[in-house]
Structure 1
Amino acid sequence: MTLLATAATIRPLLRTHGSAVSPRPLHDAEVYRAQLAELEADLSRGAIGADEVTTARAEIARRLLKSEEAVKAAASEGGDRNGRLAILAGLAVALLLPVGTFLFYDRAGSPDMSDQPLAGRAPPAQPSDISAMMAAVERRLAERPDDLTGWNVAAPVYLRLGDADKAATAYHNILRLGPPSAAAQAGLGEALVQKAGGEVTPDARQAFDAALVLDPNLPSARFYLALGLSQTGRYAEAKDAWNALIDVSPAGAPWLALAQGALRDAQAKLDNPPPGPDAAAIEAAGQLSDADRQAMIQGMVAQLASRLDAAPQDADGWTRLIRSYAVLGDKAKAEAAGRRALGVFPPETADGKLILALAGSLGLNLSGDATTR
């Protein structure tokens, strides 16, 4: 029986062929591609606006790029290395299992002992909790704040969990302690974008620019810089940036469809410019201090909120208000505005679906009383 069990154990270990990639990243990538297709379908039938598509694409792109990186990392660690490890593991099992079984059972076994009652057995071990793991990492980093390895472990986990503040701190420490790397600069930029509710802020642009100095072909940095141009209304530059990214992207690249959709959006905005402040007003805003500019933005948002109080039948106005609160970091007001908007435009309507899509892309919870102020 021991020989049969040993043979059954080592047989799969000696199979070195097959994919070395974990199915989880592959599954995630397929899910995000399906979300992208659904987003494009919603846009084509008018169920979501162009502005909301830009925000949703940015979030899908972030997740898709991360899953593709995980697929590549898993694949690069496979191959011959996995084959050698599998063979060594198989030999170890083949040698140790029979010998260990014989020695242990010969000394401690008791074939006449009856089976232990099910109720008296210890409960099965539970899967490791990622929050507990991160708590242990954080304790280690609190004791050793210059532990570069610990920060390298923590940063991508924080980013994947959506903890933008901790992710940004981790990447800052990586750049402080280690040599500059394109991956760390891009990770910092992505954390800052996540922290700003999907907006490519000036600090994020600086991080992505630094990443491109180290790796001019880094897709994530080029993607977010192009997205930042679209978000700030610089559609001619955005069009060139999207075209450049598309030109250097290999066929089937995960970000290709996202870039092509964003390129169409930029071209549409160039063909039909949206109303907004003139060049003089934009230039004047650029001369303001950060505090004055923030006050100006808050005043404009308050003016928009007052107008919606008086005339709530304006779905575009509500989406602008929700996004503005999110960018300002006031999640409570963004959610309250979203719930009020759903009170005017129920979720089953086209405008209500658009509002829900925007809230989902911004990580807002609109459940509860739709009339909450």
Structure 2
Amino acid sequence: MIDFWLAAGLLLLVALSFLLIPVLRSRRAQLEEDRTALNVALYQERVAELQVQQAEGVLDAAQMDAGRAEAARELLADTEGVAAPRVSRLGKPAPLLAAILVPVLGLGLYLHFGASDKVELTREFSQAPQSMEEMTQRLERAVAAQPDSAEALYFLGRTYMTQDRPADAAKAFERTVNLAGRQPELLGQWAQAQYFADGKKWSDKVQALTDEALKADPKEVTSLGLLGIAAFEGQRYQEAIDYWNRLLEQLPPEDKSRVALQGGIARASEKLVASGGKVAEAPAAKPAALLKVRVDLAADLKAKVQPGDSVFIFARATSGPPAPLAAKRLTVADLPATVELGDGDAMMPQLKLSNFPEVQLVARISRAGQPTAGEWIGRSQPLASSTTAPQQLTIDSPDK
């Protein structure tokens, strides 16, 4: 920030020079003008003396003319090289007043319309915070500087939650939803913060938020975890177990929170049994999908491709998101080849083959190595994701 103000100060000096230099020049011109006026007065005084001497008979007409000519030559010599006086319509006070007002006005406009706070925030965020309190202060200043930034508000809300400030977090998440839309994960975060802000009391507002989130995304993890907590606190242990089991299915195997979640399920099971209940058996897990497909190249295309061209083989839902559910990458040199596409090849944890009843197999050749665009393609007919019979896929058509 000091570098910025130094640069601004140098630019200000340059700007002031354009205003003050003409004033200094006018002062020098004024001095020249005053000296010229003095020389003219001396000339007139000399001529008057000559006239007095001629009247007294000391000088004749020829001597008078010679003296006048000598005085004129001296005047001409003294005034030679002096520029004609400049006439300024502004006068001297105007530039001096402008020299004072310009920096004051510029500073005022910058403080009002400028972005010095954002410049300072950018400098601060380039350095790692020393504490959680410092991080919170930075995020609060970022939100103040950019009140329409949903991302800044979201991270501020998460930070408030880690500092056990759920009421502030709920307000931050509410503003985030108003800016970014009613996305399921945002609604879940808002519901969780509101629940803890209300002293772990379930309310119609929290219920409405979780209902809306799970209606849009039945696998929204924050809402599932929150409903499990609320059910456990309300001694509805079977509900807690069911919600937490649903949440457990969404977490990747390496997720550290799985241990705590499994511990919560165990405690809920113990309390349910201790109260005379019986833990309901969890529904059988849906078998993981696994499709086997043999990929080959049409005979008339073998001369048109190169061995190093990329081959992308993937399955996508016939009714659902356009993103691939599972994908493998080979080269033309590997063809023909048999590959397996299953839940383990999912591009995203929530998009698995087993979650969609019907899929289509696609193989694309891309010389540029782009999975979304290429030169040649092959597509299968729609088939059930539970299909176990090997499939044949031939790349035979231009990719349009």
TM-score by length of 1: 0.34
Structure with the higher strand share, 1 or 2: 2
Q: If you compute each CA radius of gyration, which structure gives the higher value, 1 or 2? A: 2
Bigger RCO (CA 8 Å, 6+ sep): 1
